[in-house]
Amino acid sequence: MTELFDFVGGGVASSSPLVGSDTEPTIFELSVPGRKSSSFRNSGVDLLDPASILESRFLRSEEVDLPEVSERDLVGHYTRLASRQYSVDMGAYPLGSCTMKYNPKFADSVAGMPGLNRVHPGSPDELVQGWLELLVMAEEYLCEITGMQAATFQPAAGAAGELTGLLVIRAYLQHTGSKANKIIIPDSSHGTNPASVTLSGFDVVTVPSDESGLVDTDALAKVLDGSVAGMMMTNPNTLGLFEVKITEIARMVHEVGGLMYYDGANLNAVLGISRPGDMGFDVVHSNLHKTFATPHGGGGPGSGPVAVSGALADFLPGPKPCRLSDKENEFGWYMPPRSIGRVHSHFGNAVVVARALAYMVYNGSDGLKMASDLAVLNANWLKASIADYYEFPFDGVCMHEFVASALQIKKETGIRGLDIAKSLFERGFHAPTVYFPLIVEEALMIEPTETESPQTVRALADALIDIAKRAHDPETKDALHDAPTTTPVRRLDEARAARNPKLIF
Ligand SMILES: *Cc1c(COP(=O)(O)O)cnc(C)c1O
């Protein structure tokens, strides 16, 4: 039957979360042959047989196995799934390092503007002058924020930015005739750093942290020689600490001819307060999807622009949008003369850049600085609030996040960091990052973010305190091993999901 009324349900009877059903059928189970989400009225024009216009080698011989569902079932299915999901729009999401803050809705309206998102990436320059101006402005703003000279928006995420920045360093060193092949990384660095170094063909050299959780400069001095191509630093580091000797470290690395790479994924700690360029860095990537108003975590889209000093600008990926020097307000493209080439098709995830620029303009420099002030204030207040119940292996003022340890609680009660994290779900919060960074046992890496109110930060502190108290009470302790019991799914086997994905039932 051809249905012209496409909006009616069918297939397997749908379950509503409101009637207490635990399982949601897969979209394939909802499928009924012939059912469609939209169909066309018969226009009287004969259907074209694809075989009459395409060579047979371009035609499928078998039907594609796609689910066939009505619009009503499709929307019901995904709405029910969404209602079982915890999200940044729902409440606090203190997942350390990831900056899962609330993203303002005006950024969605910018991303929804047809003039921005309906443009074909192959459009001729004269039809996309607005887009080019936007990308050039975003580059100028990002350079102002980071203290750098030029930037590329091609990399699609932070790790892609790291690889790009390292390839730029490699191209620059090759150009100068250097054979240096080592990149130094502190042991408190983000896990993507050593992976990017290896991918870009350099060798990793790790330097330890000292007892305050910062780079051990004596250990650094011992590994510095002419074979060092550069050093990659995450700042604030993954312990949430600002590397106070950062300018001295930059000077030491420069003295042996190495370049300084700043992992600025967590720029929300330092906006308008300090700039990597002023601290002596040559390359910095930032994560627009963390700091500048793009929701993330479900696999994208992201944007990990790389900004560089003047000496490296010629090596950036291209082609790059630019102001045409001869005329005001006319924009075009140019290829940096020693470019490493493309790292993304077209212009990268351009709509994420549009969202980021809108966020920068909306907030202004004072608003961006306030965002960082609040990120740091919220983290320090939360840390101080739970200080009687949790240990901090590296004490002192933190930046936008801090790392607590449940080691003592585990020794005394058997309750682990994982149990504490899972128990937070029952109290209406997402869990923090756990067991990272690796240098802290039973780590709980907590980033309340700048968008949470004092009331929410207080409630999060109360939840963490309540869990710690229950861990010490023999009557309530065991329940923590079972948490969460109130969520649609309990403790998932994350490794199995990655190794044996079962997408079709
Ligand atoms: C998130 C993060 C990255 C990686 O960014 P992706 O966009 O996930 O690739 C790198 N470094 C630090 C410090 C981060 O927090």
Q: How far apart are the first and last CA of the chain?
A: 26
CB atoms within 10 A of CB 455: 8
pLDDT for residue 24? 83
Residue 19's pLDDT band (cuts 50, 70, 90): very low
Pick the CATH number of 366-499 from 1.10.443.10, 3.40.50.300, 3.90.1150.10, 3.80.30.20: 3.90.1150.10
- The ranges assigned to domains in the chain are 1-39+64-84, 105-362, 366-499
Count of CA atoms in the C-beta half-sphere (13 A) of 414: 8
pLDDT for residue 14? 52
Task: Please give the average per-residue pLDDT across 316-341, as a whole number.
Answer: 91
Ligand 1, atom 4: closest residue by C-alpha = 158
442/457 Cα distance (integer angstroms): 22
List helix spans (H) across 66-191: 71-83, 105-111, 114-117, 129-146, 158-176
Percent of residues, the chain, with pLDDT higher than 90: 77
Residue 1's pLDDT band (cuts 50, 70, 90): very low
Residues with CB under 6 A from ligand 1: 97, 157-159, 190, 192, 234, 263, 265-266, 287, 302, 304
Beta bridge partners of 322: 332
The domain 105-362: what is its CATH number?
3.40.640.10
Ligand 1, atom 8: closest residue by C-alpha = 158
pLDDT for residue 9? 65
Ligand 1, atom nearest to 157 Cα = 7
471/483 Cα distance (integer angstroms): 12
Exposure string over 322-360, b if 16+ CB within 10 A, otherwise e: bbeeeeeeebbeeebebbbeebbeebbbbbbbbbbbbbb
**Range scoring the smallest mean pLDDT among 91-95, 104-108, 295-299:** 295-299
pLDDT, tens only, 197-237: 999 999 999 999 999 999 999 999 999 999 999 999 999 99
- Cα(356) to ligand 1 centroid in Å equals 17
Decide if pLDDT at 7 tops 90: no
pLDDT, tens only, 180-189: 999 999 998 8
- Cα(237) to ligand 1 centroid in Å equals 12
108/189 Cα distance (integer angstroms): 32
Ligand 1, atom nearest to 99 Cα = 15
pLDDT, tens only, 410-456: 999 999 999 999 999 999 999 999 999 999 999 999 999 999 999 99
Ligand 1, atom 2: closest residue by C-alpha = 265
- Cα(96) to ligand 1 centroid in Å equals 11
pLDDT, tens only, 354-410: 999 999 999 999 999 999 999 999 999 999 999 999 999 988 899 999 999 999 999
- Cα(84) to ligand 1 centroid in Å equals 27
Helix (H, G, I), strand (E, B) or coil at 283: strand
- Cα(158) to ligand 1 centroid in Å equals 5
Decide if pLDDT at 179 tops 80: yes
CB 321 within 8 A of CB 354: no
Fold: same for 105-362 and 366-499 = no
What phi, psi does 148 have (nearest 5°)? -115, 180
pLDDT, tens only, 458-469: 999 999 999 999
Rg of the chain's alpha carbons, rounded to an integer? 26
What phi, psi does 360 have (nearest 5°)? -65, -45
pLDDT for residue 17? 45
Ligand 1, atom 6: closest residue by C-alpha = 158
CA angle in degrees (0–180, nearest 5) for 325-311-164:
95
Q: Of 324, 343, 308, nearest to 150 (Cα)?
A: 308
